[in-house]
Structures are given as C-alpha cells and as structure tokens.
C-alpha cells in the first residue's frame, strides 16, 4: 500500500488538481473503484504530503503539499517572492493589472485593461503586428484560494486562445506558491499551449517564464 501511495503522490505532483476519479482512471483503469485512491489520498493528507481543495468546477482536486504546509516559518516564507528584493505579501488583481500595464508600456506596447468584470480578456496589448493577451489574478488570502486562482487563470487563458499568431500569458503576484504551481505545471502542456507566466514583484518588476 505504501508503494501505491507513492504512485498517487507522484501522479499529483506531475498533474496538480486531479480528482480521485481521474487518478483512479490513470493508475488503475476506468473500470476500477476509486476507494483505494481515496484512502491513499486521505492518508497522504494526514501526513501533510497532499492537500485537497475545491477546483473552480466544484470538484475536489488533489495537490502535492508545497513549501508552507509545515512550520509557521515555512508558511511565512511562502508568502514572499523567491527574489527577496521584491517581497510580495498581498497584491490585488487590480494591482497586478496596473503593474503589467506599466511594464508593457515601458517596452513600447499599447495596452487596454479590463478593470471591471466585463467579458473579454483582462489585458490586451499591441505593438506593431504583435498581439498579447494576458489573464491576471491577485494573491488571495489563503493557499487554497491561490491554488484555485492558478487553475482559474489557466482555464480563462485557454478559453482566449483563438489566434495562432497571438501571445498568451497568465499574470500573478511573485509568490513562492504561484511559482511552485507553475513549476509543477507539466512541461508538455506549457510547450503545446505556448502559455507563459508573468510574475509581478512589489516593485513592479516582472519575471517572464515560459
């Protein structure tokens, strides 16, 4: 059973947010019962190796516990940027949009920002023949919310992907939690979608990762 728990944890690390049913389908087959996976997931959760949170679609997803699930010191470190020069504790979605807008304009882009809840992309930018669509999210107040923010902003970006000549990105506060989530996002998915991540520091500096 220990080996099976390791398989479940490996699967969740490779594909964050899978439900028990999705893990079962992958590891045991679509005809298999989900109870072994459910038991393994709860066992890993008790050991603080796995976290279970609601996904944007209302289903419970499984996530490998990252830094910050242990000691208070770890949790505090997760609230800051990997780059200690630009610590981020809290940043609203509006602040992320404003900093991205300023960053793009410094590089010669014309920028349109959706400041409200209107339908359409959060940020669109043009420079010559170049077109860039960016979806943004703020820091949120809890790690569970940040995991949901990450999944939501990815889903929103995928729904915008209509033009093969357009660049697509997600924009998030430069926090260790978001960087860890991006690092665990499968390389194949990044390559096939072409989505990049923009991590926004408190000082307005933006780190772009493909």
What is the distance of C-alpha 144 from the center of its chain? Answer: 11
- Mean pLDDT (whole number) for 144-162: 88
pLDDT top residue among 143 and 202: 202
Q: Cα separations (Å) of 84 from 10, 87, 175, 176?
A: 30, 6, 10, 11
Are the CB atoms for 204 and 99 separated by under 8 Å?
yes
The string of pLDDT tens digits covering residues 74-131 is 334 444 434 434 455 578 899 999 999 999 999 999 999 998 766 789 999 999 999 9
Name beta bridge partners: 164.
none
Q: Cα separations (Å) of 85 from 82, 123, 155?
A: 9, 26, 31
Q: What is the pLDDT of residue 88?
A: 58
The string of pLDDT tens digits covering residues 22-72 is 999 988 888 899 999 999 999 998 888 898 888 777 788 898 876 333 333
C-alpha–C-alpha distance, residues 119 and 27, integer Å: 39
Domains of the chain: residue spans and CATH: 2-65 (1.10.10.10), 78-209 (3.40.1350.10)
Which ranges in 2-34 belong to alpha helices (H)? 2-14, 20-27
Q: Cα separations (Å) of 70 from 40, 46, 49, 65, 73?
A: 20, 12, 10, 9, 8
Which residue's structure tokens are 């809890």? 142
Q: What is the pLDDT of residue 105?
A: 94
């Amino acid at each position: 059973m220990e080996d099976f728990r390791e398989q479940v944890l490996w699967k969740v690390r490779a594909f964050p947010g899978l439900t028990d049913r999705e893990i079962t389908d992958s590891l045991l087959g679509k005809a298999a019962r989900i109870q072994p996976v459910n038991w393994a997931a709860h066992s890993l959760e008790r050991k603080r190796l796995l976290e279970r949170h609601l996904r944007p679609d209302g289903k419970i997803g499984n996530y490998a516990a990252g830094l910050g699930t242990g000691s208070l010191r770890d949790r505090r470190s997760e609230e800051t940027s990997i780059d200690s020069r630009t610590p981020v504790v809290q940043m609203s979605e509006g602040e992320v949009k404003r900093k991205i807008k300023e960053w793009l304009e410094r590089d010669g882009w014309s920028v349109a920002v959706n400041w409200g809840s209107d339908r359409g992309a959060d940020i669109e930018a043009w420079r010559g023949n170049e077109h860039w669509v960016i979806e943004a999210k703020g820091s949120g107040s809890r790690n569970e919310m940040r995991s949901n923010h990450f999944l939501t902003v990815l889903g929103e970006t995928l729904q915008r992907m209509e033009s093969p000549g357009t660049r697509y990105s997600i924009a998030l506060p430069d926090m260790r939690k978001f960087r860890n989530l991006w690092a665990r996002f499968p390389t194949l998915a990044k390559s096939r979608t072409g989505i990049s991540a923009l991590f926004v520091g408190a000082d307005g500096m933006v780190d772009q990762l493909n």
